[in-house]
Amino acid sequence: MAANKRWRNAGLYGLLVVVLIALGTAFMGGRPSADNSPRSLRYSDFVASVQNNQISRVLISPDRGTALVVESDGQRAQVNLAPDKDLLKLLTDHNVDIAVQPTRQAPVWQQALGSLLFPLLLLGGLFFLLRRAQGGGGNPAMSFGKSKARVQMEPQTQVTFDDVAGIEGAKLELTEVVDFLKNPDRFTAVGAKIPKGVLLVGPPGTGKTLLAKAVAGEAGVPFFSISGSEFVEMFVGVGASRVRDLFEQAKKNAPCIVFIDEIDAVGRQRGAGLGGGNDEREQTLNQLLTEMDGFEGNTGIIIVAATNRPDVLDQALMRPGRFDRQVVVDRPDYSGRLQILGVHARGKTLSKDVDLDKVARRTPGFTGADLANLLNEAAILAARRQLAEISMDEVNDAIERVMAGPEKKDRVMSEKRKRLVAYHEAGHALVGALMPDYDPVQKISIIPRGRAGGLTFFTPSEERMESGLYSRSYLQNQMAVALGGRVAEEIVYGEDEVTTGASNDLQQVARVARQMVTRFGMSDKLGPVALGRAQGGMFLGRDIAAERDFSEDTAATIDEEVSDLVAVAYRRATTVLSGNRAVLDELADLLVEQETVDAEQLQELLLSRDVHVADYV
């Protein structure tokens, strides 16, 4: 009610300003003088009276639009003049006295006063409204510097730590923060101080914001949530004002938690742009640094921030005293994925054949958001197929849909193109199945998905993905498998009939070979040396640009080594497929007939043939 009253008062004051401006404008133009209200005369009657010599004098207005007519008998009339070029000649021929009324000008003092009155009224009205808005605080248009944080004095996020699964390490770090807020005596008794800030770092979709909601739900203290982008405005200083206002509110409600999502929007490294110290983002960051660990300190305020770009954050923001803890929220492992699937399967009707353990093993590298989307896609497919329960078929289709896109069964494919795609995918699968120390084949399909005409699915090693350690032999096998489709086309159809279907495979091979030479030190000629330093420009494409720190001779050697690695992989793929041409034909025929071949069928096919893997290493 108070806010509505302030808005009504502001509207009345605005109306008052408008009225004053109108009065000033009228005053500048002067008040109209009284007249004798002469009668109106039609223009045709006026011309006829002139021709009959009944008009003695005509007083024309300055704008030539009207005229005051004096008749021979002394009566006066007013006429609206038409744009008639013969009018003056007509009046002269009949001896009519013609005069033009001069432009009326106000006195000098009145003109000066009128010219000053309008801007004075305007400025006075705006100043009055501004003071009124600042005093009442009810006008959002004037609250640029106010924080836009959402405040929950008793957080009801409906999320607790029981709803967070698969990231036990990160959950433990934040559980201690919640315990500190609930039972500070247990920590202070041994001299522990409450952490000032916790920075959640991890890829998108791993559950950073979910963790913050769980902290709010568990702590039971006032919770302020805001996005980093809400600090930044086009006006310099507004963001810093919002930071000050946010921490002023937080101090009044301490102990409390302040959650800043996507802090990289405001916390990027300083000195990287062209704005210098007057840049709005830098001003906001400086104020944030001061509030987090300045002279005053913020006892009882815990900052929880989340970002997936920790590499761009300013070093002053990352140091202890501001963010004492950096919690890595990484992609979940197998057990973590199994727990996450259990959480997201609570509200879904799953049939008995759905094995979440198999789903967890088929989805390495999936984040919590990916797994939630996976089960949701499976539920949508079940509803589309008018099923009462979600079966394993829907889950498998959802996995492939998330990984490669939806099926395009309505696409018309000729028999020739279908067989070519079958040979291409059979080449990938056969080389991958016969290469030692490589990921097992999971499924082969020639059903178009997304932009791909067919796909061969492999099951990546959980250990390799978690550690990020790939051996030289694995990378060589990876290149050979990627070239398997192109080699199969050449063997079956000849070099003149190869297609552009292997373009992505060739890009992958070139990228892996160059990384082996320049980044991993897997070159016989160059040895264990890394070539090409990443550029230091924060906003100048640092992630994709590299500084050339080697000579032309070294560059030529790098190209030679890359070509040699690709040639070796090509020869290995050719050896495998040429030595197993019968198996390649049989697998392609099976794909043309069934469109999909799973891992069990591929193993049965290989076991029925006497294939020795050692011959092709």
CATH code, 339: 1.10.8.60
What is the phi/psi pair of residue 538, to 5°? -70, -35
Residues 6+ apart with CB under 8 A from 585: none
Tell me the C-alpha distance between 126 and 74, whole Å.
55
Would you say residue 508 has pLDDT above 90?
yes
Q: Kindly report the CA angle at 211 between 210 and 216, in degrees rounded to 5?
A: 95
Tell me the C-alpha distance between 518 and 532, whole Å.
7
Tell me the C-alpha distance between 390 and 354, whole Å.
8
- Look up the pTM and report it: 0.66
Would you say residue 345 has pLDDT above 50?
yes
Higher pLDDT among residues 223 and 345, named by residue: 345
Confidence at 530, pLDDT banded by 50, 70, 90 = confident
Last residue in a domain, options 351, 374, 403: 403
Per-residue pLDDT, 482 = 93
Per-residue pLDDT, 37 = 67
Say yes or no: 245 and 354 in one domain. Answer: no
Tell me the C-alpha distance between 360 and 459, whole Å.
11
The CATH number that applies at residue 61 is 3.30.720.210
Least confident of 300-309, 532-541, 575-584: 532-541
Helices 108-136 and 2-29, interaxial angle, to 10°? 170
| Residue 408 located in a structural domain | no
Would you say residue 125 has pLDDT above 80?
no
Say yes or no: 322 and 287 in one domain. Answer: yes
Q: H or E segment at 43?
A: helix 43-51
Per-residue pLDDT, 111 = 61
Would you say residue 24 has pLDDT above 60?
no
For tokens 């930044």, name the residue: 232
Least confident of 18-27, 89-98, 465-474, 530-539: 18-27
Would you say residue 569 has pLDDT above 90?
yes
Which whole number is the average pLDDT over 514-531?
89
| Residue 134 located in a structural domain | yes
Last residue in a domain, options 307, 328, 349: 328
| Residue 537 located in a structural domain | yes
Say yes or no: 587 and 470 in one domain. Answer: yes
Say yes or no: 312 and 432 in one domain. Answer: no
Distance of CA 316 to the CA centre of its chain: 26
Say yes or no: 68 and 119 in one domain. Answer: no
Q: What is the DSSP string of 289-332?
A: HHHHSSSS--TTEEEEEEES-GGGB-HHHHSTTT--EEEE----
Range of the domain at 366: 334-403
Residues noted as catalytic? 425
Per-residue pLDDT, 377 = 92
Q: What percent of the chain lies above the pLDDT cut of 70?
A: 78
| Residue 409 located in a structural domain | no
Per-residue pLDDT, 547 = 65
Domain total for the chain? 5
Say yes or no: 320 and 368 in one domain. Answer: no
| Residue 410 located in a structural domain | no
Say yes or no: 352 and 467 in one domain. Answer: no
Among the listed residues 402, 396, 406, 403, the one whose alpha carbon sits nearest the alpha carbon of residue 353 = 396
Across the chain, mean pLDDT equals 79
Which whole number is the average pLDDT over 357-385?
91
Say yes or no: 598 and 517 in one domain. Answer: yes
Confidence at 2, pLDDT banded by 50, 70, 90 = very low
Residue 568 amino acid letter: V
- In the chain, the largest separation of any two C-alpha atoms, in whole Å, equals 133
The CATH number that applies at residue 181 is 3.40.50.300
| Residue 483 located in a structural domain | yes
Among the listed residues 183, 209, 207, 178, the one whose alpha carbon sits nearest the alpha carbon of residue 195 = 178
Would you say residue 3 has pLDDT above 50?
no
Say yes or no: 428 and 520 in one domain. Answer: yes
What is the phi/psi pair of residue 248, to 5°? -65, -40
Would you say residue 135 has pLDDT above 50?
no
Q: What is the pLDDT of residues 278-288, one digit of tens each?
A: 567 778 888 88
Distance of CA 30 to the CA centre of its chain: 58
Helix, strand, coil percentages for the chain (3-state, nearest 5)? 55, 10, 35
Say yes or no: 199 and 63 in one domain. Answer: no
Confidence at 137, pLDDT banded by 50, 70, 90 = very low
Higher pLDDT among residues 540 and 581, named by residue: 581
